[in-house]
Structure 1
Amino acid sequence: FVAQDAVQDSCRLYEQRIKTFGGLDVALLGVGRSGNIAANEPGSGIQSMTRIILIGNTSREEMENSEQTKETIPPCSLTMGIATLLSAKSIYLTAWGEEKAEIMQKVVENSITDTLPASFLQTHPNAHVVIDLGAAHHLTRIEHPWLVTSCQWSDKLVRSALVWLCQKLGKPILKLTNKDYNENGLSELLALYGSAYNANIKIFNDLQHTITGWPGGKPNADDTYRPERATPFPKKVIVFSPHPDDDVISMGGTIRRLVQQNHDVHVAYETSGNIAVGDEEVTRFMHFINGFNQLFADSKDSIISNKYKEIKTFFAKKKESDFDTRDILTIKGLIRRGEARIACTYNDIPLDHVHFLDLPFYESGKIEKLPMTEKDVETVRALLQKVQPHQIYVAGDLADPHGTHKKCTDAVLAAIDEEKKAGAEWLKDCRIWMYRGAWAEWEIENIEMCVPLSPEELRAKRNSILKHQSQMESAPFLGNDERLFWQRAEDRNRATASLYDQLGLACYEAMEAFVEYKPL
């Protein structure tokens, strides 16, 4: 422990050293979800200098999620102050991913305030913001560019603008008028389409054509304006699921539709999901195995007895910073396999159509994963060659904070690219659909297929998610959203249906949305 006075003296000395060496040339910063830069929590003033500060709950959660070790985050931190950072000749603020989009919009576009410390960077004459498209998503120039400049109007941008106008005015699409367009910065569209009526009809029909109760295509029907083609029927389908529950969380209703409409549905679980199982789940299963052994088998079985004692001893001595043994990770993987099989059986998918790929990149035993390699890609490719699907569903939900979704989807797309290079015939008659749901939902301007769910179908989807018992209240990685995964899925699916309803289209209980991926 260091005396408080000594810490303060060190902070003052640090500031003096900066001045002695000519000041800061460059400050390279990230931004936290509460708008903090460095450890300057909300409330930090523009005159603040290097000091000790209490770490807020939001920052603590972020640190715990991002740290590659399980070491406990200390309650306090030493940090450069706002004034210290602003003294730098150049400042670069960086942010990556959709989970930073909301805070970046506030930092860049909202008023300067000490409740948002990063907003003080607006006062610096040489501050730069370096972000990817995900983090820039809510900036006006990205989300609503027509409010900033003249636009090159694509169909998606027109759809986005009209949805925005409908939400702003509280009107359905077909009730928008020329006056509405003119008074809200969309007069360019009137010149492009000739009238509000023409633009309204065009976008209304585009949205109407995204809705289908036949995600695999409707046989013997005109498919000119349908998201999926009518033939071939039935289709061979592979649903790739990064973790052993993403399939039902993100598209559980669509999976049931595909099965009920007699398509040949396979589900491929790309990773074991073993690090996302709590220790108490292993203890519960080990109690069962030990009890079963005593009742129905040889109670003196040394293998089971010794393994039970070994795991029990490990958990008794386990510290927060300790990683699980390979045996415990294997048991946790078995738990998730069992849950996935039960969910698939509930959805009438035969167990010989359930594939556990166990991609090697995931098996680090830690939150930080190994690099994706050719072995991951070849594992996926082998399944594609075996099934030769007409439809592939992959995760487009890349906001997963630990990056597993992105690596899994990259592996699938890389395998598809390899098949394309090899001239695979099956790929010529295959469509690839990307789903979301676990961490975010598709923006309506991007949706190309929307599958409606009745109240009964939504309830069945919830039941299939609940089959994954280890991912309920005790799930270790729920992220920044306090809702459980089944709650998130239902809220997002209902919100999509509500948006279609508000725009004047059909009114459903819930809807699952998809975007088509087209390989180059």
Structure 2
Amino acid sequence: MRTNLSSQISLNRVSPRYYKVESAVERSVLTRLEKIQTNIFETMEEGTRQIADEIIAKIQDRQREGKFCTIAIGTGASLRPLFSELVRRHKEDGISFRNVIIFNLYEYYPLTEGAGSSFNHLNKLLLSQIDIDKQNVFTMDGSIPQDAIIDHCRLYEQRIQTYGGIDIAVMGIGREGNIGMNEPGSQVNSTTRLILINATSRAESARNIGVDNLPPCSITMGINTILGARKVYVIAWGEDKADIIKSAVEDKVSDTLPASYLQLHTNATVCIDLAAAAHLTRIQRPWLVTNCEWNDKLIRSAIAWLCSILNKPILKLTNKDYNENGLSELLALYGSAYNVNIKVFNDLQHTITGWPGGKPNADDTYRPERAKPFPKRVIVFSPHPDDDVISMGGTIRRLVQQGHEVHIAYETSGNIAVGDEEVVRFMHFINGFNQLFEEGGDKVICEKYAEIKNFLLNKKEGDIDTRDILTIKGLIRRGEARTACTYNKIPLNRCHFLDLPFYETGRIEKNPISEADVEIVQNLLREVKPHQIYVAGDLADPHGTHRVCTDAVFAAIDEEKNANAEWLNDCRIWMYRGAWAEWEIENIEMAVPLSPEELRAKRNSILKHQSQMESAPFLGNDERLFWQRSEDRNRGTASLYDHLGLACYEAMEAFVEYKPI
């Protein structure tokens, strides 16, 4: 069973010549805007093997010399595949780490019993599974008194120097460009010190080590300490790191982006996959650095970019515009700006449809969806009980109004995203209801009410909710989802709560996807036999739940494909994006326009999920509420089409087709 198919999604075919450079001259041309050596790999697995090879080679060189190899290492999510590979090499190939000295990059402070520890995470994933001598492992002490921290940090620096400095530093990169725990504002001369962690880094770190809370501070190696390493690796995988990688590699050195200091290092390497490299100039805008291998998507991307920098619609671009902005190749290919303009304009025009399920009795040659069969059976898979309306609430209403049989499948309970105050509010209602309509009240309910009330009163940060409380929180979200479905005229018998088991840990950290999760999805597919499937495509969502849910759907489809299921022959799969991002213009294959009234109705659908408004625990570092993000994103898509010279709509929801791999 293939449960990682989302990682194999390739929206754009990137020519290998942009990242597998064969000569030094060609590399210097392609990477002339990059200020740190950047190695791009087709897959995370390929990159991980390469980095492991280089680290092991250095360790073995030191072994032959009879010396220690000193490694500073962090615990970010991007390093987990490397840890697994190093452990595999030790167990299967006999690679020894006896001569390795480990210095932990950072530790959280103050550490109390039960708090998340960076070192404990490192020990669990790597150190306890290799033959490293425990005496060769050093970390900061997150439990020392505050007045002893300065001396503790000074001694940590001295110990590094005692071993001759750091041979290799290996780290990830945070969403705000932090390396180690050096937050924006860190200075180039900073050494090991105590630092306050901002909310974004704290939330990201909590997810990385699988805890619900972290101490507010960290003792971290400083920028100067990291730059003192003889070799530095920065590792990043996935599209959620694409923006920060571009900034760190191509922008100017700035204390607002600590990773940019690595531009000052003579032997630093950024190791990324194609997804994380997506916004580097040589990948996203290759015409600015070399001649291109043009395809339809790259042409569309280039013209949209040209329109944006010139503030012109497509049909007003001239030969001069192309020549002066590095796109003369397109003139040679198509003969004139007019020919390119018409091609791209028509291409984008054909993505717009007010009939997301296909228009019956219409010529569908240039429509994104086929006319037949009509009506269609549709399943919208929603990772959480509100992603359906946040991401495609307008399209759902269109599908219902146009007569299609729409099913909504809520993949997880979403219970950990309900605040305790919501539970208290509902418990107050239940208690009051019983007192009013039951003489003396129901004894069982009264006892349960007292038990839950007592737990919440004594609940400490980081405590896991009881199963009863998690069940109540799940019921709250179910009720909101049912209300939204009723508002959108979807019968409740087409409202499916899958409650995939991987999610039910009560913590931010979830279990890996299993066959049980896939089987639940597969059973629904077999029952409905849909003609259309909508699935979450915003794989950079900060919790990671969307990716797992999408993998469960793709795995179920893959199993059905292997079983030669007939229904799959007449089914199209569309990916939507939600509150976190939008599809790039070159990738959009279906754009559903929304009127002001339809956008207002979509907002009302989202507002039915009252527990996810101001009190929602997982709004991220974006201060806008989910309905505001959704409207801004939909209006932004419509505005982009408008500025390119196409029809002007109030808002648009965009989709990309997934073809089973």
Q: What range describes the TM-score normalised by the shorter chain of this pair?
A: over 0.9
AA aligned to 2:414 is: G
Distance 1:346 1:71, change over 3 A: closer
Cross-structure match for 2:169: 27
Cross-structure match for 2:96: none
Counterpart Cα distance in 1 of 2:439 and 2:536: 45
Say if 2:358 is the partner of 1:217. yes
Say if 2:496 is the partner of 1:371. no
Distance 1:165 1:432, change over 3 A: same
Q: Is the 8 A contact 2:191 2:221 kept in 1?
A: yes
Cross-structure match for 1:350: 491
Counterpart Cα distance in 1 of 2:458 and 2:145: 33
Say if 2:347 is the partner of 1:206. yes
Cross-structure match for 2:567: 426
Distance 1:386 1:209, change over 3 A: same
Counterpart Cα distance in 1 of 2:144 and 2:507: 33
Distance 1:147 1:493, change over 3 A: same
Say if 2:542 is the partner of 1:407. no
Counterpart Cα distance in 2 of 1:220 and 1:511: 24
Q: Is the 8 A contact 2:177 2:257 kept in 1?
A: yes
Displacement of 1:122 after TM fit?
A: 1.1
Displacement of 1:117 after TM fit?
A: 1.9
Q: Deviations over 1:30-65 (max 9, x none)?
A: 222332211223333322222233334543343355
Counterparts of residues 270-289 of structure 1 (less than 5 Å): 270-289=411-430
Question: Identity rate of aligned residues, in percent?
Answer: 76
Q: Is the 8 A contact 2:465 2:506 kept in 1?
A: yes
Give ranges in structure 2 of 5+ residues lacking alignment: 1-142
Counterpart Cα distance in 2 of 1:420 and 1:43: 52
Displacement of 1:191 after TM fit?
A: 1.1
Q: Equivalent residue of 2:283, what SS?
A: helix
Number of residues of Structure 1 aligned to a counterpart in Structure 2: 519
**Structure 1-normalised TM-score?**
0.97
Counterpart Cα distance in 1 of 2:622 and 2:278: 19
Counterpart Cα distance in 1 of 2:340 and 2:207: 46
Counterparts of residues 228-243 of structure 1 (less than 5 Å): 228-243=369-384
Counterparts of residues 310-389 of structure 1 (less than 5 Å): 310-389=451-530
Give ranges in structure 1 of 5+ residues lacking alignment: none
Displacement of 1:408 after TM fit?
A: 0.6
Counterparts of residues 35-434 of structure 1 (less than 5 Å): 35-64=177-206, 66-74=208-216, 76-434=217-575
Displacement of 1:451 after TM fit?
A: 0.3
Say if 2:158 is the partner of 1:16. yes
Q: Equivalent residue of 2:271, what SS?
A: strand
Distance 1:4 1:406, change over 3 A: closer
AA aligned to 1:24 is: I
Q: Deviations over 1:314-373 (max 9, x none)?
A: 000000110100010001001111110110010000011111111100101110001110
Counterpart Cα distance in 1 of 2:298 and 2:243: 20
Q: Which 10-residue stretch deviates more, 21-30 or 194-203? A: 21-30
Cross-structure match for 1:487: 628
AA aligned to 1:270 is: E
Q: Is the 8 A contact 1:72 1:320 kept in 2?
A: no
Distance 1:216 1:245, change over 3 A: same
Counterpart Cα distance in 2 of 1:71 and 1:201: 54
Q: Equivalent residue of 2:205, what SS?
A: helix
Say if 2:600 is the partner of 1:473. no
Displacement of 1:238 after TM fit?
A: 0.5
Say if 2:167 is the partner of 1:7. no
Distance 1:4 1:295, change over 3 A: closer
Counterpart Cα distance in 2 of 1:4 and 1:453: 57
AA aligned to 2:393 is: G
Calculate the aligned-residue CA RMSD, in Å. Answer: 1.5
Q: Equivalent residue of 1:251, what SS?
A: helix
Counterpart Cα distance in 1 of 2:380 and 2:199: 38
Counterpart Cα distance in 1 of 2:413 and 2:533: 20
Cross-structure match for 1:500: 641
Counterpart Cα distance in 2 of 1:43 and 1:405: 32
Displacement of 1:113 after TM fit?
A: 2.4
Counterpart Cα distance in 1 of 2:660 and 2:318: 39
Displacement of 1:256 after TM fit?
A: 0.4
Q: Which 10-residue stretch deviates more, 488-497 or 47-56? A: 47-56
Q: Is the 8 A contact 2:307 2:313 kept in 1?
A: yes
**Structure 2-normalised TM-score?**
0.77
Counterpart Cα distance in 2 of 1:71 and 1:308: 27
Displacement of 1:438 after TM fit?
A: 1.9
Q: Deviations over 1:435-474 (max 9, x none)?
A: 0122111111000000000000000000000001111111
Q: Deviations over 1:109-162 (max 9, x none)?
A: 011223322111112222111223343232212221211222211100100000
AA aligned to 1:9 is: D
Cross-structure match for 2:586: 445
Q: Is the 8 A contact 1:140 1:147 kept in 2?
A: yes
Q: Deviations over 1:251-301 (max 9, x none)?
A: 000000000000011111011101110011111111111111111134342
Displacement of 1:3 after TM fit?
A: 6.0
AA aligned to 2:191 is: M
Distance 1:15 1:250, change over 3 A: same
Q: Deviations over 1:9-35 (max 9, x none)?
A: 332222222222122111011222332
Q: Is the 8 A contact 2:200 2:620 kept in 1?
A: no
Counterpart Cα distance in 2 of 1:440 and 1:312: 39
AA aligned to 2:431 is: N
Counterpart Cα distance in 2 of 1:262 and 1:99: 37
Q: Which 10-residue stretch deviates more, 365-374 or 92-101? A: 92-101
Distance 1:301 1:460, change over 3 A: same
Q: Which 10-residue stretch deviates more, 12-21 or 105-114? A: 12-21
Counterpart Cα distance in 1 of 2:490 and 2:268: 55
Counterpart Cα distance in 2 of 1:466 and 1:115: 36
Counterpart Cα distance in 2 of 1:311 and 1:43: 44
- Find runs of 4+ consecutive structure 1 residues off by over 6 angstroms: none
AA aligned to 2:388 is: D
Distance 1:497 1:71, change over 3 A: closer
Q: Is the 8 A contact 2:212 2:508 kept in 1?
A: no
Q: Which 10-residue stretch deviates more, 193-202 or 130-139? A: 130-139
Distance 1:43 1:244, change over 3 A: closer
AA aligned to 1:29 is: M
Displacement of 1:403 after TM fit?
A: 0.9
Displacement of 1:106 after TM fit?
A: 1.4
Q: Which 10-residue stretch deviates more, 451-460 or 108-117? A: 108-117
Distance 1:363 1:61, change over 3 A: closer
Q: Is the 8 A contact 1:236 1:263 kept in 2?
A: yes
